[in-house]
Amino acid sequence: MKRLLQFEKGETIIREGDVGESAYMIQDGRVEVSRSTGDRKVVLASLGKGEIFGEMSLIDDSPRGATITATTDTSVVELPGEEFLEHLQNEPEFATRVLRTIFERLRDANIRVQQLEQNQPAVAAEKVDAEEADSGEAPPADRQVTVTLEGLTPRAKSALPSNPYRVESFPLLIGRASGNALVNNDLGIADTVPWQVSRHHVKLVVENGRVAAVDRGSRLGSSVDGQALGGRSGRPGPVVFEEPEGLLVLGVAKSPYRYKVSITEA
């Protein structure tokens, strides 16, 4: 029988290598997905409200493939194995949600492979902390920021729910609006032929108050303050917004989907 569980920030929910008997759905808060490689911890993903984890152990009857740690005070719904599989078989909406979760993780894994191949950090803060450590400065304190997107062209404005649009949670998954049930976006951009925005285009992430963009496998890519991201450049990111106001362009340089990104202390 499913039950609601509470975890404090920093508490381990499941551990890599353990036997898995339940899946979990995040009710509130955020968790970090990580794996051990020798004596290193590699962060694979960050999950938030409504996302599911722990399901692969139930599907393929294998030990836990990753450690899940609460990065904020977090509540999750525990779904015992039999109940999870029953939902999966009998509830199409639930099965679609699980598939969206798995596909997004595959995209994250592909991005992480590209980052490792290009010797890039997985998150914005890793790059910033390394640069500040080299300069002798202390790394930034963990702080909260408010981020808004403002369309700079008529098409960019009409694609937002409001202009400016305030980002309520991170990561913010951005892509082309679609009727495909497996498309997984927090912000769907209504685009027309010739497409500038891919179905799964880019995501905005925040780490230690630093805001950055990471490609999600876009066809034409994006630019962050003039720096190429994704597409033909092959650069997965993260690309950090260095100033309180930056420019995010989805698609080619002359794309109409141009957004001012404003970052302020929360």
pLDDT at res. 206: 86
Q: Report the CATH number at residue 111.
A: 2.60.120.10
Distance of CA 93 to the CA centre of its chain: 21
Instruction: State mean pLDDT over 158-178.
Output: 93
pLDDT at res. 44: 77
**Residues 108, 182 share a domain:** no
Give yes or no for a contact between 108 and 45, defined as CB atoms under 8 angstroms apart: yes
Helical (H) or strand (E) element with 52? strand 52-53
Of 58 and 215, the structure prediction assigns the larger pLDDT to 215
In a domain, 220, yes or no: yes
Confidence check: pLDDT of 130 > 70: no
**Residues 214, 94 share a domain:** no
Last residue of a domain, one of 53, 82, 117: 117
d(CA 205, CA 200): 15
d(CA 201, CA 189): 10
- How much of the chain, in percent, has pLDDT values that exceed 90? 51
Among residues 172, 220, 215, the alpha carbon closest in space to that of 195 is found at 220
d(CA 89, CA 78): 18
Instruction: State mean pLDDT over 79-87.
Output: 89
**Residues 257, 164 share a domain:** yes
Q: Report the CATH number at residue 178.
A: 2.60.200.20
Task: Give 4-55 pLDDT, tens digit per residue.
Answer: 999 999 999 999 999 888 999 999 998 998 888 878 887 777 888 888 899 8
Among residues 182, 216, 223, 191, the alpha carbon closest in space to that of 202 is found at 216
pLDDT at res. 265: 83
**Residues 161, 52 share a domain:** no
DSSP E strands, 137-244: 145-151, 165-166, 172-176, 187-189, 202-207, 210-215, 222-224, 227-229, 239-240
Domain limits for position 258: 136-265
Q: In whole numbers, what is the pLDDT of the chain averaged over residues?
A: 86
Last residue of a domain, one of 117, 144, 165: 117
The count of structural domains within the chain is 2
Task: Give 91-116 pLDDT, tens digit per residue.
Answer: 988 888 888 888 888 887 777 777 77
pLDDT at res. 123: 56
